């Protein structure tokens, strides 16, 4: 459990990210950001997830008088192409066909913003994911569930049928879920301690 002296706000409506924060014992409230997830093609994948995570955290921080805001962003990259959330079932099918039998990279950036001092912190992590070869029926059946439609790359690796598509990973599993937990935990507690907000961890 992480105990802080100020409110913690998660600038995301992702149930997977909320689950991960609860997993490490963090108490928080949810206030989704309205920042559009627009990729800057002149920037690297690392720069894009870091930039978007910070923009989301800063946008939500402006709505509060005190507290710490957590922003995050995840993208899937293959052949230099960024796969965000699909805009239709047909788009999701295209993405999954592209990922079938190949390795892609998942990037997750996270950012912290202290409302009072305006101090901030940003980091990112990446993990390589290899899919087995998928049949068209598997892809169609999965997309019909609707589950892929709110996920970068059109699949989920946790609590989702998409997990059976994954043959192996290289890197932090939790980066694919939504937060690189080990890096997030050590970064968050260090940032909170630096600000004098950390009351304790269990």
Mean per-residue pLDDT over the chain, rounded = 95
Catalytic residues: 73
Q: What is the pLDDT of residue 85?
A: 87
Residues 139-177 pLDDT 10s = 999 999 999 998 889 999 986 899 999 999 999 999 999
Residues 77-107 pLDDT 10s = 999 999 988 999 999 999 999 999 999 999 9
Region for residue 120 given its phi and psi (left: phi exceeds 0; alpha: psi -120 to 50; beta: otherwise): beta
Looking at CATH, the fold of the domain delimited by 2-201 is given as Maf protein (3.90.950)
Q: Where are the domains of the chain?
A: 2-201
In angstroms, the CA 145 to CA 137 distance is 13
């Amino acid at each position: 459990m992480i105990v802080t002296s100020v409110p913690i706000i998660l600038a995301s409506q992702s149930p997977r990210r909320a689950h991960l924060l609860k997993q490490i014992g963090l108490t928080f409230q949810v206030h989704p950001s309205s920042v559009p997830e627009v990729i800057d093609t002149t920037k690297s994948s690392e720069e894009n997830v870091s930039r978007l995570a910070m923009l989301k955290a800063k946008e939500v921080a402006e709505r509060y008088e005190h507290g710490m805001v957590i922003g995050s962003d995840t993208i899937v990259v293959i052949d230099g192409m960024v796969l965000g959330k699909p805009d239709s079932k047909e788009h999701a099918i295209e993405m999954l066909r592209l990922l079938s039998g190949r390795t892609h990279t998942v990037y997750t950036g996270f950012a912290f913003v202290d409302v009072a001092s305006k101090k901030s912190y940003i980091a990112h992590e990446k993990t390589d994911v290899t899919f087995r070869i998928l049949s068209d029926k598997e892809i169609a059946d999965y997309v019909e569930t609707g589950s892929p439609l709110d996920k970068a790359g059109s699949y989920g690796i946790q609590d989702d049928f998409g997990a059976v598509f994954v043959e192996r990973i290289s890197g932090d599993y939790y980066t694919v879920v939504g937060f690189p937990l080990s890096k997030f935990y050590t970064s968050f507690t260090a940032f909170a301690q630096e600000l004098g907000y950390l009351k304790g961890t269990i």
